[in-house]
Amino acid sequence: MPTDSQLQSALQQVIEPNLGRSLGELKMLAGVRQDGGIAHVTIDLPTPAFPGRDRIAAAVEQAIRGQFPDVSGVDVQFTASVRGKNTGGSIGLRCKNVVAVGSGKGGVGKSTVAASLAFGLKELGCKVGLMDADVYGPSIPHMTGVDREQPMATKIQKPDGSTADRIIPIEVDGLKVMSMGFFLKPDQAVIWRGPLLHRAITQFLADTEWGELDYLIIDLPPGTGDVSLTLSQLLGLAGAIVVCTPQKVALLDAVKAVSMYNQVKIPLLGIVENMTGEIFGRGGAKAKAEELGIPFLGEIPIDASVRIQADAGQIGSLFAADSPVRPQLLHICEQAALEIARQFVEAPALPSLEIL
Residues that bind ligand ADP (CB under 6 A): 103, 106-112, 139, 222, 274-275, 300, 302-303, 306-307, 310
Is the CB of 99 or the CB of 302 nearer to ligand ADP? 302
Q: Minimum CB separation from ligand ADP for residue 8, in Å?
A: 46
Q: Minimum CB separation from ligand ADP for residue 315, in Å?
A: 8
Q: Minimum CB separation from ligand ADP for residue 276, in Å?
A: 8
Backbone angles phi, psi at 104, to 5 degrees: -75, -30
Q: Minimum CB separation from ligand ADP for residue 63, in Å?
A: 41
Is the CB of 109 or the CB of 129 nearer to ligand ADP? 109
Side chain identity, residue 210: W
Is the CB of 208 or the CB of 274 nearer to ligand ADP? 274
CA distances in angstroms from 144 to 82, 152, 184, 317, listed in the order given? 25, 18, 16, 10
Q: Minimum CB separation from ligand ADP for residue 89, in Å?
A: 30
Q: Minimum CB separation from ligand ADP for residue 216, in Å?
A: 18
Backbone angles phi, psi at 329, to 5 degrees: -65, -45
Residue 52 contacts by C-beta under 8 Å, 6 or more apart in sequence?
17, 18
Is the CB of 127 or the CB of 142 nearer to ligand ADP? 142
Query: What DSSP letter does each residue of 263-298 carry, written as one string?
Result: HTTPPEEEEEEEEEBTTTBSSHHHHHHHHHT--EEE
Hey, what long-range contacts does 69-75 have (CB within 8 A, 24 or more apart)? Answer: 70/1, 70/37, 71/1, 71/2, 71/34, 71/37, 71/38, 71/39, 72/37, 72/38, 73/37, 73/38, 73/39, 74/38, 74/39, 74/41, 75/38, 75/39, 75/40, 75/41
Q: Minimum CB separation from ligand ADP for residue 221, in Å?
A: 9
SS3 content of the chain, % helix, strand, coil (to 5): 35, 25, 35
CB of 34 closer than 8 Å to CB of 7:
yes
Residue 194 burial (C-beta neighbours within 10 Å; 0-12, 13-18, 19+): exposed
Q: Minimum CB separation from ligand ADP for residue 309, in Å?
A: 8
Is the CB of 109 or the CB of 145 nearer to ligand ADP? 109
Is the CB of 109 or the CB of 239 nearer to ligand ADP? 109
